[in-house]
Structure 1
Amino acid sequence: MRTELGTIMSGTGTGREAADRLCVACVDLLEVDGAAISMVYDGYSHGTFGASSAASRRLDEFQFTFGEGPCLDAAAAGEAVMAPDLNAPGEQRWPGFAGAALDEGIRAVFALPIMITSACVGALDLFRARPGPLTADHLAGGMLAAELATMPLLDLIASTHDDEEHELDGGHDDLADLDRIEVYQATGMLIAQLDVNPAEALVRLRAHAIATGQTASEVAWAIVERRLELERDEHRDAGRR
């Protein structure tokens, strides 16, 4: 498994392309149904850097939408977080994320920390439709994949520090995606439209996403593209009269 993963990561392409390739390899080698690389710092998910599929990217986005999930816990503790059965009676963690994942047909999630030196910068999330723990071999392979995930991330960081006179090969665009620019843009629009502070604007955006079964990014794009307009709080307006 180490040889196969190493060969895959030695292929052409860097940054997000390599991260996606690593996630696809995890699905093939670790007997899971999806994989995603979630970037986390300051206790928040700042974007999905790589994913094996659009469905896996969406699952990872739910952790930002609900503000909870195994990747956030793995990044905070710097340790693997295992949820072999999200539907188990004793599983009380992440009620919002777990409910969304179950609705998407996912029963098990495993989050493995991604470390750069002594700092944890994210997690490799492994999703599986059937419940049950990872085997010892698959867990070892997952930890190796999480270690290899630092390579495309470092490529991205290096690309943004190149001389501005040189072509950056999309590095800034990728970092913008990781910072969820669409969410910040939508939040700014909601501040003006709803007359609320930034924290409440983000809460309103996330609440609409949760209520409609979408991710925060999906709702944000709808607001930015003016396909969606959230209603003002009539009780708030009445209280100001």
Structure 2
Amino acid sequence: MASSLSDIRAELIAAMSNNTPGLAATDELCATCVGLAGVDGAALSVVYRGASRGTFGSSSEASRRLDEYQFTFGEGPCLDAVATREAVLVPNLDSPRERRWPLLRGALLDDGVRGVFALPVMVTSVCVGALDLFRSAPGPLEGDDLAVALLAAELATAPLLDLIADAVGVGAHGEDLFESVASGPEHAAELDRVEVHQATGMLIAALDVDATEALVRLRAHAITTGQTASQVARAIVERRLMLETDGRAGARDGSP
């Protein structure tokens, strides 16, 4: 390794320190990690109770979209990394032996991704998300590159703690430390996908269903039409789309 891990740690910390705490700092952490770890993209997924809650930072819009697929399909390395609290390293998504995440895998391959890696991010004793890394060429993440990625995942707790501190103040602990951020709509803008929360509320009122059913229908429409959940939600919020009550017609376009 040309630079020591202490030097790399200092570079990653400096990248965050030079930006506004929160989302901007995490974006810069992801961008810096890309350059140091030999990957093509990075994003920080926030996960709560087994579901992706938002993309809290990314190296690019392309990386943000790749992370969005995991929310849309409800499967992916970030969810597995959080569930197991272990790194999920997939050097070649196109391998015939790779059978995980069939929906996500197809979408990532269509977008030119061949390698995907997820490293758990811990806040105190709670695993709150994962740092997702993407490569356009197959190949393992190992040695110095893996060491850099693990360091970036460790440092990703800092901007998340900034957000948590703003949300719950001092004194919270365990799952209470994270719940109000991950599940509270008032923090949706920080975690991205605020339009999904807005669209879900509109579907609850229009279809007379609960929040879980509204989100299921939104994501199902995204999958069947080849879009991300945020794209469908944006169309609903802008009143260009509304799902039908019977679920058979799928959707109607145009203003109500």
Aligned to 2:223: 210
1:111 and 2:118 matched: yes
Aligned to 1:3: 10
**How many angstroms does 1:161 deviate by?**
4.3
- 72, 86, 89: which is aligned to 2:96? 89
Alignment check: 8 A CA contact 1:33 1:128 kept: yes
Map 1:51-70 onto structure 2 (within 5 A).
51-70=58-77
Aligned to 1:15: 22
Question: Matches of 2:125 and 2:70 in 1, distance apart?
Answer: 24
Alignment check: 8 A CA contact 2:55 2:192 kept: no
Question: Matches of 1:120 and 1:234 in 2, distance apart?
Answer: 36
Alignment check: 8 A CA contact 1:24 1:52 kept: yes
So what's the TM-score if we normalise by structure 2?
0.82
- 22, 31, 46: which is aligned to 2:38? 31
Residue type of the partner of 2:198?
A: Q
**How many angstroms does 1:119 deviate by?**
1.2
The total of aligned residue pairs comes to: 229
> What SS is found at the alignment partner of 2:11?
helix
> What SS is found at the alignment partner of 1:35?
strand
- 140, 143, 151: which is aligned to 1:136? 143
Question: Matches of 2:236 and 2:111 in 1, distance apart?
Answer: 24
Aligned to 1:47: 54
Alignment check: 8 A CA contact 2:19 2:28 kept: no
Question: Matches of 1:5 and 1:185 in 2, distance apart?
Answer: 34
> What SS is found at the alignment partner of 1:48?
strand
Aligned to 1:191: 204
1:182 and 2:189 matched: no
Question: Matches of 1:152 and 1:234 in 2, distance apart?
Answer: 40
Question: Matches of 1:186 and 1:235 in 2, distance apart?
Answer: 19
Residue type of the partner of 2:85?
A: G
- 205, 226, 233: which is aligned to 2:239? 226
Aligned to 2:253: none
> What SS is found at the alignment partner of 2:137?
coil
**How many angstroms does 1:229 deviate by?**
1.9
Question: Matches of 1:176 and 1:203 in 2, distance apart?
Answer: 18
Residue-by-residue CA offset, 1:148-193 (whole Å, 9 max, x unaligned): 0001111111223469xxxxxxx99982222744223322322343
Alignment check: 8 A CA contact 1:23 1:51 kept: yes
Alignment check: 8 A CA contact 2:185 2:197 kept: no
Aligned to 1:126: 133
* Alignment RMSD: 2.4
So what's the TM-score if we normalise by structure 1?
0.87
**How many angstroms does 1:213 deviate by?**
2.0
Alignment check: 8 A CA contact 1:85 1:132 kept: yes
Q: 5+ residue gaps in structure 2?
A: 1-7, 171-180, 250-256
* Amino-acid identity (%): 65
Evaluate the alpha carbon distance shift between residue 158 and residue 132 of structure 1 in structure 2; reply closer, same or farther with a 3 A threshold: same
Q: 5+ residue gaps in structure 1?
A: 164-170, 237-241
Residue type of the partner of 1:150?
A: T
Residue-by-residue CA offset, 1:76-131 (whole Å, 9 max, x unaligned): 11110011111110111111111111111111100000011221110000011011
> What SS is found at the alignment partner of 1:229?
strand
Evaluate the alpha carbon distance shift between residue 59 and residue 227 of structure 1 in structure 2; reply closer, same or farther with a 3 A threshold: same
> What SS is found at the alignment partner of 2:242?
coil
Of 57-66 and 212-221, the range deviating more from structure 2: 212-221
Alignment check: 8 A CA contact 2:37 2:145 kept: yes
